[in-house]
């Protein structure tokens, strides 16, 4: 069967056989299927979707494109957490250390910035010297000794995801339920896991704008996990405004430090504790979820999660002092204030606009080979529901180059809605699947 025939059949809504999907993925990864044909296949999938069987084959093929890291020798329950992508989403650096401090082993395989959303690996690389490319043996050793290690998709870990991820980013095929599910689960299956917590974001700053789609994505990933005998839970969480105040790589690390010292924003604290609790519970460290919540909170208050993150930074080549001394992190050279045109209540902050603005000034990538500027981003001064006076500072745009600043500032300004009446409160954790 020629590649063009597979694209044709997918375009027309037919189900492809598992071996056909396997062939597509392995030949694309090997370089014998060109980007233009894979792009067409991705777009056909975007419109036609995939059956559970096809997604299963896609996950297996993408996972098998690299090595499997066997962690069975590492003692303790191994539980990872993955988010579907948001703006200001830095929970991994809080729930990971919390769970590790509670006795869970956290082998985290993370991603890079995609579309307007930030990437865990890019945020970590804002810490000078931090290495996200640990060889398997070092990853294993760190997991054993520190309890938490983070690496990315690489030439040996799910390389098909690396190629497809960039291609999706460049072909407007990111927001596709089966492609997101396959991308995430292929990375998760690259290591031995006992549990998996998924944070499925929904709202204007997420790839899923509607709760019904977020639920479908959560259910799809949950089903894939269950078929592999992996205990999994998916939380559907609100992404209708950035999480916390900081958006941008180094800026987010600073906010992580504050949150790990129990002085972070309420929403970030709440989601991180809930994710950590689910990791602890799935890892069977505590008999009940309530006990797990208490344990997560205790590990925050006694500073052990903060110390755990420092250990991770040290082990992966960074200077742990960056969490105490923000001058050791890359810092922007200028700050542009956005002020409120009138008094009233903040009724909305479009997270996608904030994410796009940050990308424009260099916090994300426009083209796959673009170099990230770790210092830049946006720091909110207000959150939805807050009352402001005319002229109050809504946020600051931190930049190092003036290029694109005007367009970014306009986007940020457009992100804010001010109303005369306070908006209705919104739940942060909307649903649990699994």
φ, ψ of residue 148 in degrees (nearest 5)? -150, 125
**124-161 core/surface letters (b: 16 or more CB in 10 A; e: else):** bbbbeebbbebebeebbebbeebbbbbbbbbebbbbbb
Please pick, among 65, 83, 183, 340, the residue that the annotation labels catalytic: 183
Tokens of 55: 């997604």
Please pick, among 187, 201, 231, 308, the residue that the annotation labels catalytic: 187
Least gap, CB of 205 to ligand URA (angstroms): 13
Any contact of residue 180 with ligand URA (CB under 6 A)? yes
Please pick, among 10, 63, 78, 82, the residue that the annotation labels catalytic: 82
Nearest residue to ligand URA by CB is: 183
Least gap, CB of 113 to ligand URA (angstroms): 10
Distance of alpha carbon 201 from alpha carbon 127, whole angstroms? 26
Angle at 339 between CA 337 and CA 341, to 5 degrees: 155
Name the residue nearer to ligand URA (CB basis): 180 or 360. 180
Any contact of residue 150 with ligand URA (CB under 6 A)? no
Distance of alpha carbon 92 from alpha carbon 49, whole angstroms? 29
- Taking CB under 6 A as the criterion, which residues in 105-144 touch ligand URA? 111, 114
Tokens of 98: 């919390």
Name the residue nearer to ligand URA (CB basis): 173 or 240. 173
Name the residue nearer to ligand URA (CB basis): 111 or 374. 111
Q: How many residues bind ligand URA (CB under 6 A)?
A: 7
- Contact between 88 and 117 (Cβ < 8 Å): no
**Residue whose tokens read 């050793």:** 141
Least gap, CB of 224 to ligand URA (angstroms): 13
Name the residue nearer to ligand URA (CB basis): 211 or 331. 211
- Taking CB under 6 A as the criterion, which residues in 49-88 touch ligand URA? 84-85
Name the residue nearer to ligand URA (CB basis): 176 or 408. 176
Strand pairing of 387-388 and 334-339?
unpaired
- Taking CB under 6 A as the criterion, which residues in 225-284 touch ligand URA? none
Any contact of residue 206 with ligand URA (CB under 6 A)? no
Told to judge if 26 belongs to the known catalytic residues of this protein, a careful annotator would answer no
Tokens of 31: 């370089």
Told to judge if 75 belongs to the known catalytic residues of this protein, a careful annotator would answer no
Told to judge if 83 belongs to the known catalytic residues of this protein, a careful annotator would answer no
DSSP secondary structure, 280-310, as one string: HHHTTSSSSHHHHHHHHHHHHHTSHHHHHHH
Residues that bind ligand URA (CB under 6 A): 84-85, 111, 114, 180, 183-184
Active site residues: 82, 161, 168, 183, 187
């Amino acid at each position: 069967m020629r590649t063009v025939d597979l694209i044709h059949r997918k375009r027309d809504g037919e189900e492809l056989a598992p071996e056909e999907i396997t062939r597509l993925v392995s030949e694309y990864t090997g370089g014998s299927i060109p980007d233009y044909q894979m792009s067409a296949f991705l777009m056909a999938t975007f419109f036609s979707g995939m059956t559970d069987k096809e997604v299963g084959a896609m996950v297996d093929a993408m996972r098998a494109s690299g090595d499997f890291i066997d962690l069975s020798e590492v003692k303790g329950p191994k539980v990872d957490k993955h988010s579907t992508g948001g703006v200001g989403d830095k929970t991994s650096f809080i729930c990971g250390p919390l769970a590790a401090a509670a006795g869970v082993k956290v082998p985290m395989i993370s991603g890079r910035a995609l579309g307007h959303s930030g990437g865990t690996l890019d945020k970590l690389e804002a810490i000078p010297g931090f290495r996200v490319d640990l060889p398997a043996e070092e990853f294993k050793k760190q997991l054993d000794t520190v309890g938490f290690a983070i690496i990315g998709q690489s030439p040996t870990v799910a390389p098909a995801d690396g190629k497809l991820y960039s291609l999706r980013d460049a072909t407007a095929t990111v927001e596709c339920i089966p492609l997101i599910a396959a991308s995430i689960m292929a990375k998760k299956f690259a290591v031995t896991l006992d549990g998996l917590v998924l944070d499925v974001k929904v709202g204007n700053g997420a790839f899923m704008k509607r709760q019904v789609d977020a639920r479908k994505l959560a259910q799809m990933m949950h089903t894939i996990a269950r078929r592999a005998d992996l205990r999994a839970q998916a939380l559907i969480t609100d992404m209708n405004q950035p999480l916390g105040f900081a958006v941008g790589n180094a800026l987010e690390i600073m906010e992580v430090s504050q949150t790990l010292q129990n002085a972070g924003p309420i929403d970030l604290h709440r989601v991180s504790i809930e994710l950590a609790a689910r990791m602890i519970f799935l890892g069977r460290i505590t008999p009940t979820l309530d006990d797990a919540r208490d344990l997560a909170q205790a590990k925050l208050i006694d500073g052990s999660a903060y110390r755990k993150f420092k250990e991770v930074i040290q082990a992966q080549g960074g200077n742990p002092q960056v969490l105490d001394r923000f001058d050791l992190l890359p810092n922007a050279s200028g700050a542009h204030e956005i002020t409120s045109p009138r008094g009233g209540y903040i009724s909305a902050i479009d997270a996608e606009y904030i994410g796009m603005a940050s990308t424009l000034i260099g916090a994300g990538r426009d083209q796959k080979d673009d170099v990230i500027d770790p210092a830049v981003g946006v720091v909110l001064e207000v959150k939805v529901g807050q009352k402001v006076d005319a002229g109050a500072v809504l946020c600051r745009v931190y930049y190092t180059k003036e290029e694109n600043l005007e367009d970014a500032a306009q986007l940020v300004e457009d992100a804010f809605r001010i109303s005369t009446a306070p908006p209705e409160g919104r739940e942060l954790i909307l649903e649990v699947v699994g």
